[in-house]
Amino acid sequence: MSLAEPVRQRIESMLAQHRVVLFMKGTRNAPSCGFSAATAGALNELLDDYVTVDVLADEEIRQGIKDFGNWPTIPQLYVNGELVGGADIVQGMAASGELHTLLGLPQPDRTPPEITISDAAAVQIRNALGDAEGMGLFLAIDARFQPQFQLREIQGSEIRAVANGIDVLFDPASAKRAKGAHIGWTETAQGEGLSIDLPAAPPKVHGLDVHALKRLLDEGRITVIDVRSADERKIAPFAGAEILDASSHERLVKLPKETPLAFLCHHGNSSARAAEHFREQGFRVVHNIVGGIEAWSSEIDAGVPHY
Tell whether the model's pLDDT for residue 71 goes beyond 80. yes
State the amino acid at position 237 in one-letter form.
P
Which pLDDT score, from 0 to 100, does residue 62 have?
Answer: 94
Least confident window among 43-52, 79-88, 234-243: 43-52
Among residues 10, 88, 100, which one has the least CA distance to residue 55?
10
Least confident window among 35-49, 126-140, 217-231, 282-296: 126-140
Phi-psi region of 220 (alpha: psi -120 to 50; beta: other; left: phi over 0): left
Task: Write the DSSP assignment of 223-247 as a string of letters.
Answer: EEEE-S-HHHHHHS--TTPEE-STT
Which pLDDT score, from 0 to 100, does residue 18 have?
Answer: 96
Helix (H) / strand (E) element for 116: namely strand 116-117
Which pLDDT score, from 0 to 100, does residue 161 have?
Answer: 97
- Cβ atoms of 147 and 139 within 8 Å: the answer is yes
Q: How far does Cα 266 stand from its chain's mean position?
A: 27
Cis peptide before 172 (omega within 30 of 0): no
**Active site members:** 265
Which pLDDT score, from 0 to 100, does residue 241 have?
Answer: 97
Question: Can you tell me the distance from the alpha carbon of 103 to that of 1, in angstroms, rounded to the nearest whole number?
Answer: 32
pLDDT band at residue 302 under the 50/70/90 scheme: very high
The SS3 assignment for 160 reads strand
Question: Can you tell me the distance from the alpha carbon of 231 to that of 244, in angstroms, rounded to the nearest whole number?
Answer: 14
Q: pLDDT (tens digit, 9 = 90+) per residue, 182-203?
A: 999 998 878 888 999 999 998 9
Q: pLDDT (tens digit, 9 = 90+) per residue, 126-146?
A: 988 887 777 889 999 988 888
Stated pTM of the model: 0.73
